[in-house]
């Protein structure tokens, strides 16, 4: 076939430009990435051989070979893995941008930090940090002719026929003039030890050694010997005492594609009805895409040391989707399918065990190292708390792990549900909470006035999903109740007073109802206001306004939900207004409109008609200035 010249996809081009000009200080990671690709390719071939016995005849002797040719200035990484067909190599290495690349470019734009590279699957392209040209020669397990891919990362790559008899891939790096140290045996060997020691296939290299000659005693001869650079033992199968914290961290970076050290390591072996080993990590940073649908959930699944699946979502509940790691089961069949996984008793035992271990680890951290726990919570608490809604059995255990700011903690401290309940006012039957977009917004809400006045603590719920999670939750027999929904009478005296005032304000209430009939469903006297004249509240079972706004911003069709306007009978504005309306029913209509618009603003909304609102305010300001002029 003639040589084909193809263009890289735009995003890949941008990435390649970055790689070529990168000042990133850990360029050595290119080798880690290529060895990891080689190991993945062997995993795939090995799996293929196991489930499809016709596919590979020469299975076994799996190996990754590194060859440094100082004369040619090339470093070659060869594997006898699955290989690529022509079609695959064009898509995989040029025309589709893997999600890792896209996420990396996006993160780079936001944070401008090349160090983020370790977090994303930009693996192969990191070769261009040390090479000015890369050639890939590969032969697929599918038996198609071998292909050669080549590029200098200048916008395009070529694809051509190649001569290669054996299955697998050779990645040949033409090392840049100033990166020649990567052709040295000691350098390569130390990088392999540092990053890729746990790779379970031998990573070998030909090394020249001087040895005593067997033929001519007393003389030395130079011999080329193949040496294995890695210890090859799957880290999760080693004894804990044999593993250093650095090795644990390095392996974490390998499985998670995160470049920061993990927050916690959980390594355990289960024996009994189900036999498995798990090496699970809690990350220290929230993964960028954790709230996207395409986020890959679950640890890598191995069955008897054979990698079966990159991410096995059946092994962890969704609210623990931030955990990364490896599970190696001795009970599952090698050709395990998604259907088998969904109904397999061993899988549910593993899931239960991991869930318990992670929750226990978090509880322990919270108890013994609250600083570290807060760091975890600020990053990942939002995901963990989904468990209160979805994991009925463990909802109180998870609830005990949650931290809240409240009207009593201030901005920088936290309380827990347990502390809240332990210090509840006598006779208080419910746990009060307020939703809001920020601490400041919630803290200044008029809905809190009476609660503050009477000394009731109110928890702040600042994530959009909070109302859904906590709206129907009971903790130790106490219901959680939103202070912006339903009506409140915080003491018996208030109730009586409201009855009397209801009579006094009858005309005012009916006039407001009349004036705002299209905007609010009800107008009533408030039991929760102290300083403000009015506020908007929802019915007990209604959707939270923050949630409603979020759904609308996502383009969802949410039915219009009329709110209730509550007015404060003790506020001088309301009293004066009532006096005016008693004399002339419609004399204060403009003020009633403003009152409603103001309640909307306080609620985090725009006024109904911002231009009209501004005009009315201007008129009022002018009037007041004229009076004092």
Ligand X SMILES: Nc1ncnc2c1ncn2[C@@H]1O[C@H](COP(=O)(O)OP(=O)(O)OP(=O)(O)O)[C@@H](O)[C@H]1O
Site residues, ligand X (CB under 6 A): 33, 37-38, 41, 79, 81-84, 92-93, 98, 100, 121, 123-125, 169, 257
Of 163 and 367, which CB lies nearer to ligand X in the complex structure?
A: 163
Task: Give me the torsion for CA of 489, 491, 496, 497, rounded to 10°.
Answer: -80
Of 46 and 257, which CB lies nearer to ligand X in the complex structure?
A: 257
Of 149 and 451, which CB lies nearer to ligand X in the complex structure?
A: 149
Provide the strand spans (E) within 406-492. 430-435, 458-461, 474-475, 478-482
Strand partners, 279: 267, 326
Smallest gap, in angstroms, from Cβ of residue 82 to ligand X? 6
Q: Are 400 and 418 in contact (CB under 8 A)?
A: yes
Provide the strand spans (E) within 166-202. 168-175
Strand order in the sheet with 520-525: 520-525, 563-567, 534-537
CA 458/CA 434 separation, integer angstroms? 7
Of 37 and 274, which CB lies nearer to ligand X in the complex structure?
A: 37
Residues 6 or more apart whose CB falls under 8 angstroms from that of 316 comprise: 297, 298, 299, 323, 351, 354, 355, 358
Of 100 and 262, which CB lies nearer to ligand X in the complex structure?
A: 100
Of 84 and 529, which CB lies nearer to ligand X in the complex structure?
A: 84
Of 148 and 385, which CB lies nearer to ligand X in the complex structure?
A: 148
CA 328/CA 308 separation, integer angstroms? 10
**What 8-state DSSP symbol labels residue 532?**
S
Smallest gap, in angstroms, from Cβ of residue 101 to ligand X? 7
Of 123 and 607, which CB lies nearer to ligand X in the complex structure?
A: 123
CA 349/CA 359 separation, integer angstroms? 15
Smallest gap, in angstroms, from Cβ of residue 379 to ligand X? 21
Smallest gap, in angstroms, from Cβ of residue 147 to ligand X? 12
Q: Which residue is nearest to ligand X (CB)?
A: 121
Smallest gap, in angstroms, from Cβ of residue 88 to ligand X? 7
Of 169 and 511, which CB lies nearer to ligand X in the complex structure?
A: 169
Smallest gap, in angstroms, from Cβ of residue 320 to ligand X? 22
Q: Are 134 and 128 in contact (CB under 8 A)?
A: yes
Strand partners, 169: 79, 138
Smallest gap, in angstroms, from Cβ of residue 124 to ligand X? 3
Smallest gap, in angstroms, from Cβ of residue 78 to ligand X? 9
Of 22 and 416, which CB lies nearer to ligand X in the complex structure?
A: 22
Per DSSP, the residues of 364-403 read: HHHHH-HHHHHHHHHHHHHHHTHHHHH-STTHHHHHTT--
Smallest gap, in angstroms, from Cβ of residue 257 to ligand X? 5
Strand partners, 168: 139
Of 168 and 471, which CB lies nearer to ligand X in the complex structure?
A: 168
CA 566/CA 554 separation, integer angstroms? 29
The distance of Cα 596 from the centroid of its chain, to the nearest Å, equals 40
The distance of Cα 372 from the centroid of its chain, to the nearest Å, equals 18
Cα-trace Rg, the chain: 33
| Count of alpha carbons within 13 angstroms of residue 603, beta-carbon side | 28
Smallest gap, in angstroms, from Cβ of residue 154 to ligand X? 18
Smallest gap, in angstroms, from Cβ of residue 121 to ligand X? 2
Of 120 and 456, which CB lies nearer to ligand X in the complex structure?
A: 120
Tokens 């991410």, located at residue: 311
Helix (H) or strand (E) run with residue 71 in it: none
Smallest gap, in angstroms, from Cβ of residue 126 to ligand X? 8
CA 89/CA 339 separation, integer angstroms? 31
CA 191/CA 586 separation, integer angstroms? 83
Tokens 């040619």, located at residue: 72
Q: Are 85 and 147 in contact (CB under 8 A)?
A: yes
What does DSSP say about strands 306-309 and 478-482: parallel, antiparallel, or unpaired?
unpaired
What does DSSP say about strands 264-270 and 220-228: parallel, antiparallel, or unpaired?
unpaired
């Amino acid at each position: 076939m003639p040589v084909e010249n193809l263009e890289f996809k735009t995003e890949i081009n941008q990435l390649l430009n970055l790689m070529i000009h990168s000042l990133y200080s850990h360029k050595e990671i290119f080798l880690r990435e290529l060895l990891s690709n080689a190991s993945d390719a062997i995993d795939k071939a090995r799996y293929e051989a196991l489930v499809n016995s016709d596919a590979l005849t020469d299975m076994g002797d799996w190996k990754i070979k590194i060859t440094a040719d100082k004369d040619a200035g090339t470093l070659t990484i060869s594997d006898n893995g699955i290989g690529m067909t022509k079609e695959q190599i064009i898509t995989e290495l040029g025309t589709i941008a893997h999600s890792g690349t896209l996420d990396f470019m996006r993160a780079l734009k936001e944070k401008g930090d090349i160090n983020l590279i370790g977090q994303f699957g930009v693996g192969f392209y990191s070769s261009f940090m040390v090479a000015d040209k890369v050639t890939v020669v590969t032969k697929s397990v599918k038996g198609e002719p071998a292909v050669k891919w080549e590029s200098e990362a200048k916008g395009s790559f070529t694809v051509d026929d190649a001569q290669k008899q054996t299955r697998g891939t050779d990645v040949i790096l033409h090392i840049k003039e100033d990166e020649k140290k990567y052709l040295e045996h000691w350098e390569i060997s130390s990088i392999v030890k540092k990053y890729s020691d746990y790779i379970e296939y031998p990573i070998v290299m030909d090394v020249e050694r001087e040895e005593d000659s067997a033929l001519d005693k007393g003389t030395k001869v130079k011999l080329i010997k193949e040496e294995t650079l890695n210890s090859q033992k799957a880290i999760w199968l080693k004894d804990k005492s044999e593993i250093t914290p650095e090795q644990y961290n390095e392996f974490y970076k390998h499985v998670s594609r995160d470049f920061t050290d993990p927050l916690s390591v959980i390594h355990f072996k289960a024996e009994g009805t189900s036999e498995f080993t798990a090496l699970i990590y809690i990350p220290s940073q929230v993964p960028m895409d954790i709230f996207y649908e395409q986020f890959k959930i679950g640890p890598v699944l191995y069955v008897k040391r054979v990698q079966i699946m990159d991410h096995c979502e059946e092994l962890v509940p969704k609210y623990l989707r931030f955990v990364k790691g490896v599970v190696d089961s001795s009970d599952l069949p090698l050709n395990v399918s998604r259907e088998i996984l969904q109904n397999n008793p061993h899988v549910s035992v593993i899931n239960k065990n991991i869930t318990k271990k992670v929750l226990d680890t978090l509880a322990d951290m919270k108890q013994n190292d609250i600083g570290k726990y807060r760091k975890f919570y600020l990053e990942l608490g939002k995901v963990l708390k989904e468990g209160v809604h979805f994991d009925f059995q463990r909802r109180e255990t998870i609830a005990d792990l949650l931290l809240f700011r409240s009207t009593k903690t201030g901005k920088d401290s936290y309380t827990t549900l347990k502390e809240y309940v332990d210090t509840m006012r006598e006779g208080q039957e419910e746990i009060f909470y307020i939703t809001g977009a920020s601490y400041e917004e919630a803290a200044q809400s008029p809905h809190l006035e009476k609660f503050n006045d009477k000394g009731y603590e109110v928890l702040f719920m600042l994530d959009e999903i909070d109302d859904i999670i906590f709206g129907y939750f009971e903790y130790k027999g106490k219901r959680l109740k939103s202070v912006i929904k339903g009506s409140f009478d915080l003491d018996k005296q208030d109730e009586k007073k409201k009855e009397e005032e209801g009579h006094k304000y009858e005309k005012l209430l009916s006039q407001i109802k009349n004036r705002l009939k299209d905007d609010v469903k009800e107008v009533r006297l408030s039991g929760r206001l102290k300083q403000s004249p009015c506020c908007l509240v929802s019915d007990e079972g209604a959707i939270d306004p923050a949630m409603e706004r979020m759904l609308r911003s996502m383009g969802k069709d949410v039915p219009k939900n009329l709110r209730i306007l509550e007015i404060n009978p003790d506020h001088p504005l309301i009293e004066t207004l009532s006096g005016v309306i008693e004399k002339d029913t419609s004399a204060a209509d403009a003020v009633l409109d403003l009152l409603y618009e103001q309640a909307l603003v306080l609620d985090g909304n725009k006024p109904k008609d911002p231009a009209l609102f501004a005009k009315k305010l201007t008129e009022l300001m002018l009037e007041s200035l004229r009076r004092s002029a």
